[in-house]
Amino acid sequence: MNASDILLGGDDGSLSRSRSCTPNFVSFDKKIGTVSFVTRCTADAWNQKVKFENWDEIVKENPDVKWEDLKDEDIRIACDCPANLYWGYRFIQTELDIAIDLETRFPEKNNPQIEGVACKHILSVLRRYFS
């Protein structure tokens, strides 16, 4: 899945709430093909990671590639906020094979319908930097 696929899978609530967030680029680890962001929505700031699934091949083909030019590539995602874990998004990401941090516990209390795919922070990062 690429960023567009993930944005299409976002639930209405998270997509709507993501519009009040301000994502910021932090760093790019070229060794592992992972971009780090910090996003503030209301009071708290949380950390997101976007990891390029095919980074080894991408960088072999073009050693000088910039992460900003890879918006269509398949990615893995992570956010350390409570919503991403407790509302079942990390479980959904694991099922879709796009998780960086795996979670196998089904969210039977908070999201038994398995709605959405990512927290508002991740959606905010993907909209700002990958679409």
Where does this chain bind Zn ion (CB under 5 A)?
Answer: 46, 79, 81, 84, 119, 121
- Do the beta carbons of residue 19 and residue 42 sit within 8 Å? no
Nearer to Zn ion, 2 or 18 (CB): 18
CA torsion, ordered 97, 30, 73, 9, to nearest 10 deg? 50
Least distance (Å) from Zn ion to the CB of residue 14?
9
Nearer to Zn ion, 20 or 62 (CB): 20
Least distance (Å) from Zn ion to the CB of residue 74?
20
**Which structure tokens are listed for 9?**
């899978």
- Do the beta carbons of residue 52 and residue 58 sit within 8 Å? yes
Nearer to Zn ion, 81 or 92 (CB): 81
Least distance (Å) from Zn ion to the CB of residue 26?
14
Which of 120, 96, 110 is CA-nearest to residue 5? 96
